[in-house]
């Protein structure tokens, strides 16, 4: 069996279920462990009675790891979520020694094809740890302050090196895990991953694959071609999983924040293949939940733009950062710059916005969690 894990609260239940259904479809040996941060999320997922979907309540982790629970009062909600990452993985491997390897996935990913090549590459390398680089385009190198690697997809083997990695990561996160980058290279739980190749040497596989943990911030770093079956290839490699960072409804389910404001707007065909597929997965997951909980929907409140945020909203409108959904089609209004929109926007921000609002200086704030283009 291939063991995966994620974590979520009630605001990501639909996304998390969509992730699980896509993972189960492409990996028949998959088992997903979910850390539920609130009882609402836990109840909804447990009611599915899926034998390969295991739900663990936050209280169980806190009881097993008192040092983790102690820091709760000194962290914001999202910082506590970030702090949980190594504690969650470490507890899973200790409590379930039958898990030979655990693969962590952010709950806002969707799996498009088999993850088997990732597992095979890790096995072939004899690696205890697998990490995926952010792969920023050259003009977005300023975002490397959020870490060389993205935590959205990583794997840890249940062996002495993997356990040592998790113990070290946990100690560092318990000591400092804040939602801001600092001068020493720390950023939440993610910045610490940068040091892993130096700390653990050849036991760490830096997995360079254009279709794994593809995201708004890195798709432009790859050459996009199309296979005969009209499936996109990224540097000749198939899409395994896309990271839908910051993709969220702004009004109902018809007006969406794309998460691509500072990255560049995907061309039409690629956007519909990736985001249209994701919408269908989200709609299916929502229908599955609504069958038991009538009226359940995306639970985030509509964002209210004031001050500087209103200025960014204007940029989003002009450059196609917000999308209109019609059926499973996402329409981006923009001034015609397409994939160049992000570059032009970053240039204009540096010219016209106060320094504190430059994308390299300040993460974007969403409705219920602080996030940035590299989360």
Domain residue limits at 98: 2-226
Alpha-helical runs (H) found in the chain? 13-26, 39-46, 58-64, 66-70, 77-95, 116-125, 160-175, 196-200, 268-271, 277-290, 307-319, 341-352
Report the C-alpha gap between 25 and 106 in whole angstroms.
Answer: 17
Report the C-alpha gap between 340 and 343 in whole angstroms.
Answer: 5
Look up tokens 């020493």; give the residue: 184
Pairing of strands 237-238, 232-234: antiparallel
Q: What confidence score (pLDDT) does residue 349 get?
A: 63
Look up tokens 């088999």; give the residue: 114
Q: What confidence score (pLDDT) does residue 359 get?
A: 43
Note whether 184 and 308 are same-domain residues. Answer: no
In a domain, 243, yes or no: no
- Cβ proximity of 258 and 332 under 8 Å: yes
pTM of the predicted protein model: 0.90
Note whether 166 and 314 are same-domain residues. Answer: no
Residue 53's CATH number: 3.90.550.10
Token pair recorded at residue 62: 């806190």
pLDDT tens sequence across 244-279: 999 999 888 998 988 887 778 788 899 999 999 999
In a domain, 338, yes or no: yes
Note whether 254 and 220 are same-domain residues. Answer: no
Integer distance in angstroms from the first to the last C-alpha of the chain? 28
Q: What confidence score (pLDDT) does residue 35 get?
A: 98
Token pair recorded at residue 83: 């702090």
- The pLDDT of residue 355 is above 70: no
pLDDT tens sequence across 201-253: 999 999 999 999 999 999 999 999 998 878 999 999 999 999 999 999 988 89
Q: What confidence score (pLDDT) does residue 374 get?
A: 59
Report the C-alpha gap between 205 and 154 in whole angstroms.
Answer: 10
In a domain, 160, yes or no: yes
Note whether 132 and 261 are same-domain residues. Answer: no
Backbone CA torsion sign across 149, 155, 161, 166: positive
Note whether 216 and 131 are same-domain residues. Answer: yes
In a domain, 369, yes or no: no
Provide the domain count of the chain. Answer: 2
Q: What percentage of residues in the chain have a pLDDT greater than 90?
A: 71
Report the C-alpha gap between 276 and 262 in whole angstroms.
Answer: 21
Note whether 123 and 185 are same-domain residues. Answer: yes
In a domain, 63, yes or no: yes
Roughly what angle, to the nearest 10 degrees, separates helices 13-26 and 39-46? 40
Look up tokens 């302050």; give the residue: 145
Note whether 318 and 186 are same-domain residues. Answer: no
């Amino acid at each position: 069996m291939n063991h995966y894990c994620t974590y979520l609260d009630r605001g990501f239940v639909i996304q998390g279920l969509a992730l699980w259904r896509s993972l189960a479809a492409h990996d028949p040996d998959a088992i997903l462990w979910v850390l539920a941060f609130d009882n609402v999320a836990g109840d909804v997922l447990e009611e599915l009675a899926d034998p390969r979907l295991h739900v663990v309540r936050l209280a169980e982790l806190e009881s097993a790891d008192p040092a983790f629970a102690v820091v709760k009062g000194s962290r914001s909600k999202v910082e506590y979520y970030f702090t949980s990452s190594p504690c969650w993985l470490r507890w899973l491997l200790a409590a379930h020694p039958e898990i030979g390897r655990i693969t962590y996935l952010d709950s806002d990913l969707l799996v498009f094809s088999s993850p088997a090549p990732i597992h095979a590459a890790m096995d072939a390398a004899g690696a205890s740890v697998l990490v995926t680089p952010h792969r920023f385009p050259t003009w977005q190198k300023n975002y490397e302050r959020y870490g060389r690697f993205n935590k959205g997809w990583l794997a840890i083997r249940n062996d002495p090196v993997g356990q040592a990695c998790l113990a070290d990561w946990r100690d560092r996160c318990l000591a400092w895990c804040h939602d801001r980058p600092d001068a020493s290279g720390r950023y939440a739980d993610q910045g610490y991953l940068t040091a892993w190749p130096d700390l653990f040497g050849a036991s760490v596989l830096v997995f360079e694959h254009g279709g794994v943990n593809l995201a708004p911030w890195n798709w432009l770093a790859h050459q996009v071609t199309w296979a005969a079956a009209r499936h996109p290839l990224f540097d000749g490699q198939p899409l395994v999983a896309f990271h839908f960072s910051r993709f969220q409804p702004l009004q109902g389910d018809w007006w969406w924040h794309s998460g691509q404001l500072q990255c560049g707007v995907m061309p039409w065909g690629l956007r519909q293949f990736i985001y249209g597929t994701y919408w269908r997965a989200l709609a299916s997951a929502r229908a599955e939940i609504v069958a038991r909980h009538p009226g359940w929907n995306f639970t985030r409140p509509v964002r209210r733009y004031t001050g500087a945020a209103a200025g960014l909203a204007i940029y989003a409108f002009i450059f196609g950062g917000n999308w209109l959904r019609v059926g499973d089609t996402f329409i981006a209004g923009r001034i015609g710059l397409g994939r160049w929109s992000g570059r032009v926007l970053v240039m204009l921000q540096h010219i016209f916005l106060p320094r504190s609002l430059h994308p390299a200086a300040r993460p974007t704030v969403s409705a219920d969690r602080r996030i940035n283009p590299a989360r």
